[in-house]
Amino acid sequence: MRSSSTRTSGVAASGTRWTVVRPPMRQDKPHTGTYRRAFGANVRGGRVIPRADVADALLAVLTDPA
């Protein structure tokens, strides 16, 4: 299996607009609406996140021009 940085490089080289989302370990817990994002770095202390918050974050990046 290739490393995540190698896979990201392949996506970047594709010439398409892209966003890579790397959530930490997902948990079956209720949606909190509270999560942190980082650009070009890992979120410090980010160990777990409810699956519902991952879904919320994925929907948010669809409309985020960054």
pLDDT at 66: 67
pLDDT of residue 42: 82
CA–CA separation, 44 vs 40, rounded Å? Answer: 12
- The DSSP H or E segment spanning 37 is none
Characterise 57 by phi-psi region: left (phi > 0), alpha (psi -120 to 50), beta (else). Answer: alpha
pLDDT confidence of residue 2 = 57
pTM surpassing 0.85?
no
Long-range contacts of 49-53 (CB under 8 A, 24+ apart): 49/23, 49/24, 49/25, 50/26, 51/26, 51/27
CA distance 55 to 13: 26
Rounded average pLDDT per 10-residue block, the chain, 66 residues: 64 79 93 89 88 94 80
Give the pLDDT of residue 38.
Answer: 84
What's the pLDDT score for residue 31? Answer: 97
